[in-house]
Structure 1
Amino acid sequence: MNKIACQYTIVRFSPFIETGEFANVGIVMMASKQRYFASKLETQRYARITRFFEELDRKLYTQAIHVLKVELERLHQVLKAHGFDRRFKANDVDFAQQLFAELIRPRENIVRFSEPRIVLAENPKEKLDELFSYYVERNFVTKEYIETRLEKGIRKWLYQASIGDRFQRLAVGDDEYEAIFPFVEQVDDRPVKIIKPLNLAQEKPSKIIDHGNLWRSRIEELKRRKRLPGRVLFTVRGPEDIDTHRGHAYKESLDRLQNAGVEIEPYENKEKIIEFARA
């Protein structure tokens, strides 16, 4: 099957012009010769975006995306009138290219577009979904990758509080069993305190439960061997939609960890985490 040259742009939400920070929130794609124009925008799971721009009212995002969605639908109708509607024999390719260029022209708006890119695709719809998964949903990001980023945040906070040197990455356990924790404080070469960032925001409830159970079982095994320090804190990031099956799985995982003797704080509670580390 012949591949089609598709032009696409990444939609970016950039509410603070002063800093230039942005989040990828959608893809717009066009193959003018094949009369294809489509877009995919993040309209459901946008907690990552509102967390990143935490000072912002989330309504600003939803309203901006709604306005863009309406505009893209309008442009699609214009393209249909100039040949994208397959009922017409003629197709004004040059007009379509000009319209696409005008859409993505740099403006001082909170919704912006990347430079146009070209990708070859056998099926433009499938390629649009693939690009959305990569650039917006970041399907390459694993739970290990996320937890590494959470660790970097905790480490930065500890050093800002001038107590970073008290903690180190360390294997806790004995000759038969051990688990590695990113932040372990020792006194006389014995672990006395642990801080462990934990990501429980996976897409599927079963993944949330599995990951929570993995760390609960490690905690219980260390406790059974009398190798668990007296205080263990898990700084947890969970799903935004806590009233769903994912939210129920998250709450269940937290309950099991607490029953195993783990203290829990949401990752965002910086002051509480520092307070635990100082104690």
Structure 2
Amino acid sequence: MKHICNYSILRFLPYPETGEFVNIGVVLLANNGEFHYKIEPTRKRVTQFFKTLDHKVYIRARDEVQDEFKRLAEFFYGHRGEVSLLASTFKHLIHARETMMRFSNPGSIATDNIPAVVQELYDHYVNHSFANKEYQERVLERQLGNLLAVSNLKQRYKEQRLGTKEYEVRFPFVVLDDGDAAQAIKPLYLGQSEPSRILDHGDAWVARVKRLSKANHLAKDTLFIVAPPEGGNSKLQSAFGEVVEALTEFNGVRVVSNRETNAEIVQEIKRGLPATMH
């Protein structure tokens, strides 16, 4: 049975002067009277964003709103047949207020699995489930496409699959010279928050390059434009360096950081093009 649900995203906004906030949870009311909420259990996301904030301020505000949600859950359960009362109470809960805890404008969704949709909303708005490595690399590809366009280079490239009939690898930017791949460019996201995730994704590309190299189907120049980890975490940087070292062991494979200037990236791209194409 489908239920119509209203939901709102819980936001922590300690400094109204700047308008900056962090999504920390979600609340949802279904038309059958079920009230659900989910709040980020740790303070890490908040303290990483608001570096000067005393973490006790956030914890106290979070605990207070969580207690309020617990009371409301009991209230909604006790009045689950009174639709108009439930709707007005939910509307009052999320109305604009001058506190550190704010709510987004409400949204609506139909579902036959209320707990699952609460988790999906939480994953999307709090955990940024959409921002996985595939999403990040699509962003990097768009950025590189724009850079190639303004540098009058994009017309030379096209998406191509390199390899054999049994094994192909997609490269978004490939230059062909007399039918052979002269250069292949792959934006690669290695900014994951855990060393194991950097290594897993990096190792997957090392394995692809190894297989193409063994079959003699690598482009003459293979350029990875990589997004490295943020900050100075030594474990993340070590994992990143390990992947870069493994990739550059193959002949014709180069790695350049996307943090280089646009001019430097274009220079690296041109360096791998056939002389007749400069």
Q: How do 1:116-265 and structure 2 match up within 5 A?
A: 116-117=107-108, 128-139=118-129, 143-173=133-163, 178-202=168-192, 205-240=195-230, 243=233, 246-261=236-251, 262-265=253-256
Quote the sequence identity (%). 25
8 Å contact from structure 2 (residues 26, 121) kept in 1: no
Q: Distance in 1 between matches of 2:173 and 2:258?
A: 14
The size of the alignment, in residue pairs, is 254
Match of 2:94 in 1: 101
Q: Distance in 2 between matches of 1:204 and 1:67?
A: 28
Match of 1:39 in 2: 39
Q: Distance in 2 between matches of 1:227 and 1:168?
A: 17
Match of 1:267 in 2: 258
The offset of 1:273, in angstroms, is 2.1
8 Å contact from structure 2 (residues 248, 255) kept in 1: yes
Does the residue aligned with 1:259 lie in a helix, a strand or coil?
Answer: coil
8 Å contact from structure 1 (residues 12, 26) kept in 2: yes
Q: TM-score, normalised by structure 1?
A: 0.64
The offset of 1:139, in angstroms, is 3.0
Does the residue aligned with 2:137 lie in a helix, a strand or coil?
Answer: helix
Q: Distance in 1 between matches of 2:203 and 2:168?
A: 16
Match of 1:50 in 2: none
Q: Kindly tell me: are residues 96 and 3 of structure 1, through their superposed partners in 2, closer, same or farther at Cα, counting changes over 3 Å?
A: same
Which of residues 20, 25, 28 is equivalent to 2:26?
Answer: 28
The offset of 1:196, in angstroms, is 0.6
Q: Which runs of 5+ in 1 are unaligned?
A: 15-19, 47-57
Match of 1:52 in 2: none
Deviates more, 1:2-11 or 1:222-231: 2-11
Q: Distance in 1 between matches of 2:167 and 2:3?
A: 55
Residues 81-112 of structure 1 show CA distances to partners (whole Å, capped at 9, x for unaligned) of xx5597xxx99979954651334x6x9x9x76
Residues 93-148 of structure 1 show CA distances to partners (whole Å, capped at 9, x for unaligned) of 79954651334x6x9x9x76132546779886x76544211333243565434323
Q: Distance in 1 between matches of 2:26 and 2:246?
A: 43
RMSD: 4.8
The residue type paired with residue 134 of structure 2 is: E
Q: Distance in 2 between matches of 1:175 and 1:121?
A: 44
Deviates more, 1:230-239 or 1:172-181: 172-181
Does the residue aligned with 2:268 lie in a helix, a strand or coil?
Answer: helix
Q: TM-score, normalised by structure 2?
A: 0.64
The residue type paired with residue 220 of structure 1 is: K
8 Å contact from structure 1 (residues 200, 236) kept in 2: yes
Aligned: 1:8 with 2:1: no
Does the residue aligned with 2:152 lie in a helix, a strand or coil?
Answer: coil
Deviates more, 1:59-68 or 1:146-155: 59-68
Q: Which runs of 5+ in 2 are unaligned?
A: 14-18, 80-84, 272-278
